């Protein structure tokens, strides 16, 4: 029991430490392609630390306790989901991480985020929550279908079991894995509010989706919201990295040495995926909101085709 708690706590702490890194890399890649030096890849860390040191100010006169507790609920639910996703299969314990539970634990935070956007009676908050709910309702089916397909293929909904089994199944060697990879990549872009779905760096309130819901936040509370968003992005990137690009089968060492080497390779995969996301953002433009449905439909089609391939392969 002590070993299990130790590994769970250490993994969650490592997720927190690594969470802002993909955003820093994505911004750096975009800056380089725009012929700019850009900020350091560690700038998101500096921003989070700066925000956490500042007091929170509530400007809205209609905000209730929901506005105050939402940052903590959002961070708590995201941390719980992060603890479900193994960073390596070299650990000597089995984490009870169910992929369906993970998805709906993240959804719990999204529910409170929507509530707090409406709680302030802000026009932009209401608009952002409406857009976020619309986007979630059309992109979530692709995620659920992909999760069910992976669970059926690997005969388990446990994420560690899925990742361990993928070490011996040669992912990306068949159409099933390729289609689900494309679907999950599209879902990751949508769920983490990145271009072409949303622009996290925009200053135009009328085009905001995620950012519009947290416009009323400042200081420590805003820092917690930003950290939660980074963690959510890290969870999806970890799923892609460890399910579709397994690496532990190439690491012969066991024990602490094996875990450290595995985590080092994991960090390299995170960097590569972040660079790919940066390249996608550099070469695409933000979609009009009413055309996002076409994007979501394409993600659902890829998931469905992957699910169909599952039975064709059998």
Model confidence pLDDT, tens digit, residues 24-43:
999 999 999 988 998 999 99
Helix (H, G, I), strand (E, B) or coil at 98: strand
In this predicted model, which residue has the larger pLDDT, 257 or 275? 275
Residues 168-197 have pLDDT tens digits of 877 677 889 999 999 999 999 999 988 888
Instruction: Give me the DSSP letters along 4-25.
Output: HHHHHHHHHHHHHHHTTHHHHH
Average pLDDT for 17-28: 96
Q: Residue 115 class from Cβ within 10 Å (0-12 exposed, 13-18 middle, 19+ buried)?
A: middle
pLDDT, residue 252, reads 76
pLDDT confidence of 112, banded at 50, 70, 90? very high
pLDDT confidence of 206, banded at 50, 70, 90? low
Query: pTM for the complete prediction?
Result: 0.94
Nearest to 266 by CA among 22, 43, 70: 22
Nearest to 134 by CA among 287, 281, 296: 296
Nearest to 298 by CA among 217, 185, 169, 207: 185
Asked whether 114 and 133 are in contact (CB, 8 A), the reply is yes
pLDDT, residue 204, reads 65
In this predicted model, which residue has the larger pLDDT, 141 or 56? 141
pLDDT, residue 205, reads 61
pLDDT, residue 139, reads 94
Helix (H, G, I), strand (E, B) or coil at 94: coil
Evaluate if residue 141 carries a pLDDT over 90. yes
Nearest to 160 by CA among 76, 231, 91, 106: 91
Asked whether 119 and 66 are in contact (CB, 8 A), the reply is yes
Asked whether 129 and 112 are in contact (CB, 8 A), the reply is no
pLDDT, residue 53, reads 94
Residues 288-309 have pLDDT tens digits of 888 999 999 999 999 999 999 9
Evaluate if residue 14 carries a pLDDT over 90. yes
Q: Residue 279 class from Cβ within 10 Å (0-12 exposed, 13-18 middle, 19+ buried)?
A: middle
Per-residue burial over 48-63, b if 16 or more Cβ lie within 10 Å, else e, is beebeeeebeeeeeeb
In this predicted model, which residue has the larger pLDDT, 38 or 201? 38
**Residues contacting 293, CB < 8 A, separation 6+:** 138
Evaluate if residue 94 carries a pLDDT over 80. no
**Residues contacting 306, CB < 8 A, separation 6+:** 145, 146, 149, 175, 176, 177, 179, 180, 183
Give the domain extent around 196.
2-313
pLDDT, residue 47, reads 95
Counting the structural domains of the chain, the total is 1
pLDDT, residue 288, reads 86
Residues 50-87 have pLDDT tens digits of 999 999 887 777 788 888 999 999 999 999 999 989 88
pLDDT confidence of 15, banded at 50, 70, 90? very high
pLDDT, residue 313, reads 66
In this predicted model, which residue has the larger pLDDT, 178 or 92? 178
> With helix as H, strand as E and coil as C, how does 144-179 read?
HHHHHHHHHHHCCCEHHHHHHHHCCCCCCCCHHHHH
Average pLDDT across the chain, whole number: 89
Measured torsion, CA atoms of residues 105, 73, 140, 24, in degrees rounded to the nearest 10: -110
Instruction: Give me the DSSP letters along 31-89.
Output: HHHTT-----TTHHHHHHHHHHHSPP----SS--HHHHHHHHHHHHHHHHHHHHS-S-S
pLDDT, residue 190, reads 92
């Amino acid at each position: 029991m002590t070993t299990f708690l130790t590994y769970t706590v250490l993994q969650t702490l490592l997720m927190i430490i690594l969470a802002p890194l993909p955003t820093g890399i994505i911004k750096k890649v975009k800056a380089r392609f725009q012929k700019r030096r850009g900020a350091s890849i560690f700038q998101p860390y500096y921003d989070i630390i700066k925000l956490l040191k500042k007091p929170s100010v509530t400007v809205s006169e209609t905000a209730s306790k929901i506005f105050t507790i939402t940052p903590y609920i959002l961070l708590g639910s995201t941390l719980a989901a992060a603890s479900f996703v193994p960073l390596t299969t070299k650990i000597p314990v089995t984490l009870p991480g169910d992929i369906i539970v993970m998805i709906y634990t993240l959804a719990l935070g999204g529910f409170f985020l929507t509530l707090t956007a409406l709680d302030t009676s802000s026009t932009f908050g209401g608009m952002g929550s409406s857009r976020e709910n619309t986007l979630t309702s059309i992109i979530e089916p692709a995620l659920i279908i992909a999760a069910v397909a992976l669970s059926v293929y690997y005969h388990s909904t446990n994420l560690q079991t899925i990742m361990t089994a993928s070490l011996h199944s040669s992912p990306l060697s068949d159409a099933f894995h390729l289609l689900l990879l494309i679907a999950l990549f599209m879902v990751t872009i949508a769920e983490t509010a990145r271009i072409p779905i949303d622009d996290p760096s925009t200053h135009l309130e009328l085009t905001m989706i995620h950012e519009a819901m947290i416009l009323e936040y400042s200081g420590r509370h805003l820092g917690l919201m930003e950290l939660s968003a980074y963690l959510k992005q890290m969870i999806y990137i970890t799923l892609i990295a460890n399910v579709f690009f397994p690496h532990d089968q190439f690491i012969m060492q066991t024990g602490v040495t094996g875990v450290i080497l595995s985590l080092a390779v994991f960090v390299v995969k995170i960097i590569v995926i972040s660079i790919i996301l940066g390249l996608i953002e550099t070469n695409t433009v933000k979609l009009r909101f009413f055309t996002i449905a076409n994007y979501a439909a394409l993600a659902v089609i890829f998931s469905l085709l992957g699910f169909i391939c599952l039975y064709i392969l059998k």
